[in-house]
Each structure stands twice: as structure tokens, then as C-alpha cells.
Chains A and B, each alone.
Chain A
Amino acid sequence: MDQNARSEHFLEIKSLCRTFEDGFMAVDNFSLTIKQGEFVTFLGPSGCGKTTTLRMLAGFDMPSSGEILLNGKDITKLPPNERPINTVFQRYALFPHLNIFDNIAFGLKLKKLPRAEIVRKVKKALEMVDLEGFESRTVQTLSGGQQQRIAIARAIVNEPQILLLDEPLGALDLKMRKEMQLELKSMHDKLGITFIYVTHDQEEALTMSDKIVVMSEGRIQQVGEPEDIYNEPKNAFVADFIGDSNIFNGIMTGKYKVRFCGAEFTCVDDVENGTMVEAVLRPEDIEITPPGEGIIEGEVSSVVFKGVHYEITVLSGKNELVIQSTRKAQVGSRVGLSVDPEGIHIMIAENMVNKFEVGVKNGYRPDFLDGVPDFDITSLLPGSRMEGGTLLDAHGDEVAPETLRVIVTIKPEDITMNDDEEAGMVKGHIVNMIYKGDHYRYIVRSDDDEDFIVRDEDLWNMNDYVSLVIPRDSLQFALKK
């Protein structure tokens, strides 16, 4: 009983925070419980805080606040040499002045084990990584993959309770990486110890892990098994980061009914009517039909052969959909698109803001409404500058306008509705309204079929034709990566 409880709460990380000297918050309130013997992966883009978290577990970095409990014992302030945890480093960190035997024996010698035992353990560790007989080789004579194995052997020979792996396969080529993924997984099964693995490669995470922790900007976005993370992403970030996906802003229009891309779809998520949502469509879940037979229609804008399938991009109105299909399509042809209800994953939109993704034209101005005055593209791209009408990035390379996508954000409270049609530049009908206690939230569908969220204290009627006044200062811009 006690044993069982201990193994369920093997490693407890409680509200871990790390703020750097320059004020940057690398890890923000990270809490997680890890079971004994689990394979846990911290997944996220670079700078998301995953490596910093790992370094705090190893003891290389001290948290600003929070605590780490191992078997119920506080190890937060323990130096790395006193933790029963070993690390496989990103660039292996093998000691170049020692041969393979001395590298692997490094930790054992510090523990002052008898020579015979050290020899035996090193031999066993080398067998484990399939490099028998490598004892007297030097580090420089090994290939990247072999160095990787030695780094693993050097860590596991100390029989740690937890093995930390910091993007250990990052420096290997694709084939070797695939091979090592399987090998690490089987090594994990054989050793039965807890693995904590850090990577930015979602495929790697999905292949190997028992549990994935998706991180972004220092915060945990979602924790779950690989299937859950893939099929039921909690928010747009997770959906976008795990696998390819199409994400659209939408609104619930009835029970199991959701409207996005200018059409109404049936879905399986029961969300309250009128809720602003984001709909996720995996590329493999969209089906291409003859024109007129799909839910929406569009024109094929590109077709790329990817080996197993074609990646087909279809432009439907202003929305771009990426589709994976085993059948080829003709660029320029009109097609219909349909999605099964199971293929639509509905996420409740967290922050109610208007978000529009647009291209740039006419001297790098966002193609939004009738153009944006006083816009400086260089403010969005750090280190960039304009030279003779061309945008140069921090490296001095030219940035083509067609490669840029700008995300325009407007807060609902910054938009005012007016019944004078000439007052604003956007005109449309009110298609939805919800009373929110002290104000109403309206959805205005413009003549261009764009939905605007507007907050207003006055009562309007459904289907009123209104114009929206959007002050220039309320527009916020960001560059899509």
C-alpha cells in the first residue's frame, strides 16, 4: 500500500518557477506528478522552458520558487552530485581527455567502487548499448551515434532512479534517429527506471512517451497520453504544434452544429450555442469531393507529392485548408470539401479577441480592410530594416512580401457599432448575440463573410445591418512564424 502510493507519487514537481536575472520568466508555475518507471516527454518549441525545467530536475539550475520531491523527499536545493538522477546531454558531453572506459567509469570511480566491480559494470553498460569491446577507444574515434550510446551508458551505469535526456537525438541524422528512438524505448522497458525526455520533435514524443507534457512560453499547455494529445488537443497551440492541422475561428450555432469557413458543420462536441470556438481539422480527415457535393467549395492552389500522400492546399473564400490525400488533384480545379463529424475537434476559444490572418501588399502593408496607414513592418521583425522599398531581415537577406503573413488582433471592446452605414469601413449583419450580465457580445458577419466579435453595452437586434468603427490604434499586429 505504502509502496504503491510512493510509486504513484514518485516525482512531484510543485509550482516550479524560474525567473532569469534579466527578468525573463523561463518556467511559470510548473506542476506535475510522475509515476515510477514512466516515460515522460517535455515537448515544445525552443524557448518554451522545457530544458530549463530539466536542468532544475538535474540540479544545474535553481528554481526561483516551487519544490521538487523525489519519493516524498525535498531535493530542490540538492546539488547535482547528490541527486540519484543522471543526464544524457544534448551534445553528449563526453570527456575528451578520457577513453571510453574512463568516461563510463567516471561516476563509479567517484563512488570508490572496487576495481573489479567497475570493470564488470562498465562491460555490462557497453553491452546494453551494443558497443562491447569499446573500452580503450578514444572519444574522437567514435561516430555521432556511437558517442550518443556511450553517453547513455555513462548515465545508466550509475543506476539512477531517473534518467534525464536533453534532446539526445537532435544531432543525429534521420535514419539513425528513428533507430535510436526504438532502442531508447526498449532500453526503458528493460531498465524499468523513469525517463524524462526533452524534445521539440512531436513525432519523437508521440512515438516514445507514456505521457507527454506540451509546453509553451514557460507554461504547461496540456498533459496526457500521446493519443489524447493528438486527438483531443486542449487549445490552438497544442493542436498547431502536434501534427499538421487546420484551425479556424468559429461559433457554435446549435446542438452539435458549428459554423466556420462560411458554412455550417456537424460535430460531436456538445458546446453551448453561441460560444466562440476554434475548430481543428486534421489534414487527413478532410475529404475531397466533386464540386457541389462537399460542405464547402474551393479552388486547389497547390499540390505537393510527399511520398505516402499528396499535400493539397485548397483556397475556400479567404480560408486556406491543407489536406492530405492519396489521390492527386489538379491545381486550379474546383473541388468540394467535406469532413465527418468525428474529424472536427472543437476547442472553446480562450480569449475572446478578433484575429485575422492576412498577407501583405503595397509596400509591406497588411492586406486588411482598406489598408493600414502608418504601418511599419520592421517593428514586427527584430533586426530588420527597409532598404529601397525592400525588407531585409537581421541577416541582411531580402524578405519577399508573399512569404509574410500578419496576424491582426482587435479587442471586442475597441470596436463600436453604428447604425449609420457610412460611419465605419466594415458593414455587416448581427448574426449572434449573448447577454453577458453587464454587456452584450455580438457577432457581426461582414459582407466579406468575416465574423467580428463586438462588445457593446446597448441592445441591438438580430439581423440589424450595422457598420463597425475600428480605430487604427486598436489594431495589434504580429508576424506569423
Chain B
Amino acid sequence: MGVFRFSRKQLGIPYAVFLICFVAAPLLVIIYYAFTNGEGQFTLGNLTGFFTSPYTIGTLAYSFAIAVVTTCVCLLLAYPIAYILARSHWKAKSVVIVMFVMPMWINFTLRITALKEILTVVEGNLAFHPFLNTIIGMTYDFLPFMILPMYTTLLKLDNSLLEAAADLGANPFQVFLKVTLPLSVPGIISGVVMVFLPSMTNYVVLDMLYNSTYIMGSLIGSYFSAYDWHNGSMIALILLLIILVFTLVTDRYADEDAGNRGGALL
């Protein structure tokens, strides 16, 4: 528009260049490496290798299992917490929600260390319950990410809608099922997005709790240790595609305000 708007636009150039160099370009490099071999020739070997090896397919399945169970457990714990807090009239509820969020600001490896010590006392040897311990660890790590968006959504819920439903003859359970629950879907979706993907990839939780089974993230870690950039890139690409599909599916239900990790953390 005017002459003087020009200078404001230019301020964005450094960040645009930064994003292109360190976000866009690395993605292209990943795609390139995923479809080439050590000699730099085009190959589909990495792709077919992944989908034909029972080992890698098993890893994918195990990742999904961990992610699905963790997400469900988080959902079942977080929804009541968010619901009770958001609908209550307690004066201290803003303090309580901060208390639920506060652990996010403590380094997660230290928190898992603390959890590990407690679990060791309870179970004796952690190695006997690798799957259970992983679910406990992931839930412990990610629960705040699930509570916050649901709390924000439920807090915004217009009380008169619930009163209207009751007025129209719905009993409290029907009000919840037909009004509250559908309207909290955006918050649920945001929470699911924030828990599901990290629990497919955060292999440090498994490592620290002595679960030696691999998940998708561990595969990248092991290819990285072996300097196998090509297979590592293929795993990264597959994860990217999963994330892309997941984002496209959830995007249309997601709440604008709580639709991303940023929304929940801010």
C-alpha cells in the first residue's frame, strides 16, 4: 500500500530466510536422502525395506499401540480433571490448574527419573512390566498437555447452553452427553494431537524405564548412531507423513485457540 508500509514488511525477511534454510530445506534433504542410497543413486530400497521387514513393521505397530493406549489413558484421566475444574466454582481453581501444568516446566528426564525411583520401590524390578511402565511414564509426562486444552475449551462453554438443554427436558446425564461432550470435542482433539505423536516417538521414556523394545523414534536414534542417514531419513519421512495425515484429519475439528502445542503452552 503506502510507501511507509514497505519497511514493516521487510522486517519479516530474516525469519523467512531462516525458516526456508532450516525448516523447509531440511525437509527436502530428508526426502532426497530417503530415496537415495549410499552412492547417491535413486532407490526405493529404503521404502520397501521398511515395509517388508517384520522388525520395522513390528516397531510401527508397537509405536501405535503405545500411542493409542497412552492417549486413551490420558483422555480418561484428563477429561474428568478438566471437567470438574472448569465447571466448578472453587476460588482456587486457577491455582489448581497451574499446579497441573507446572510439571511441564520441569525437565522431563528429571521427572522420569523421579518416577523411575518410585516405580522401582513399588515393582522391584522394572524389567518385568516394560509395556505398563512405558504407559505410566508417557502418561506421567504428557498428562498436562491433555488437561490444558480440554480445560480451556470447557471453560469457554456457555452455561446458558446447558441451562437451555435442561430447560428443554434433558436430565444431567443427557445434558452432558448431548451438549457438553460434543462441544468439548475441539479441546479433546487438541489434547489427542499433543499426546499421540510424542508418545509414538519419545523413546527416551522407554530407555529410562528399561523397555528395550523399539518405537519409531528409537529407529531414527539407532540409524543416527550408525550414520545411516538414508534409512534414518526414510523413518523421518514416514513419521512426517503420519503427522501430516493426523494434522489434516484433526485440523477441521480443532479449536482455533487451543489447536496447537503453542496454544496450550501459552
| A61–B1 CB distance below 8 A | yes
CB-CB < 8 A to A59: which residues of B?
2
Q: Is B4 an interface residue (CB 8 A)?
A: yes
| B3–A79 CB distance below 8 A | yes
- Can you list, as one digit per residue, whether each of A47-75 has a CB less than 8 Å from chain B (1) or not (0)? 00000000000011110000000000000
- Can you list, as one digit per residue, whether each of B137-181 has a CB less than 8 Å from chain A (1) or not (0)? 000000000000000000000000000000000000000000000
CB-CB < 8 A to A79: which residues of B?
2-4
Considering residues B1, B2, B3, B4, which has the most beta carbons from chain A within 10 angstroms of its beta carbon? B2
Bound: A77/B4 CA distance, A: 11
- Minimum CB–CB distance from B109 to chain A (whole Å) comes to 40
CB-CB < 8 A to B4: which residues of A?
79-80
Bound: A261/B232 CA distance, A: 86
- Can you list, as one digit per residue, whether each of A154-173 has a CB less than 8 Å from chain B (1) or not (0)? 00000000000000000000
CB-CB < 8 A to B1: which residues of A?
61-62
- Can you list, as one digit per residue, whether each of B1-37 has a CB less than 8 Å from chain A (1) or not (0)? 1111000000000000000000000000000000000
- Minimum CB–CB distance from B159 to chain A (whole Å) comes to 23
- Minimum CB–CB distance from A79 to chain B (whole Å) comes to 5
Bound: A74/B122 CA distance, A: 85
Count chain B residues whose beta carbon lies closer than 8 angstroms to a beta carbon of A: 4
CB-CB < 8 A to A77: which residues of B?
3
- Minimum CB–CB distance from B4 to chain A (whole Å) comes to 5
Bound: A62/B4 CA distance, A: 10
CB-CB < 8 A to A80: which residues of B?
4
Bound: A193/B1 CA distance, A: 30
CB-CB < 8 A to B2: which residues of A?
59-62, 79
CB-CB < 8 A to A60: which residues of B?
2
Nearest residue, chain B, Cβ from A62: B2
- Minimum CB–CB distance from B32 to chain A (whole Å) comes to 38
Nearest residue, chain B, Cβ from A79: B4
Bound: A77/B2 CA distance, A: 9
- Minimum CB–CB distance from B7 to chain A (whole Å) comes to 11
Bound: A60/B4 CA distance, A: 9
Bound: A61/B3 CA distance, A: 9
Bound: A59/B3 CA distance, A: 10
Nearest residue, chain A, Cβ from B2: A62
- Minimum CB–CB distance from A163 to chain B (whole Å) comes to 21
Nearest residue, chain B, Cβ from A20: B1
Chain A stretch 177-221: residues in CB contact (< 8 A) with chain B? none
Nearest residue, chain A, Cβ from B4: A79
- Minimum CB–CB distance from B8 to chain A (whole Å) comes to 13
- Minimum CB–CB distance from B9 to chain A (whole Å) comes to 15
- Minimum CB–CB distance from B2 to chain A (whole Å) comes to 5
- Minimum CB–CB distance from A430 to chain B (whole Å) comes to 56
CB-CB < 8 A to A62: which residues of B?
1-3
CB-CB < 8 A to B3: which residues of A?
62, 77, 79
Bound: A80/B1 CA distance, A: 14
Question: Would you list the 8 A-B pairs with minimal beta carbon distance, nearest first?
Answer: A62-B2, A79-B4, A61-B2, A79-B3, A60-B2, A62-B3, A61-B1, A62-B1
Residues of B whose CB lies within 8 Å of any CB of A are 1-4
Residues of A whose CB lies within 8 Å of any CB of B are 59-62, 77, 79-80
A-B contact pairs, 8 of them (CB 8 A): A59-B2, A61-B1, A61-B2, A62-B3, A79-B2, A79-B3, A79-B4, A80-B4
Given A61-B1, A79-B3, A80-B4: 9 more A-B contacts, CB < 8 Å: A59-B2, A60-B2, A61-B2, A62-B1, A62-B2, A62-B3, A77-B3, A79-B2, A79-B4
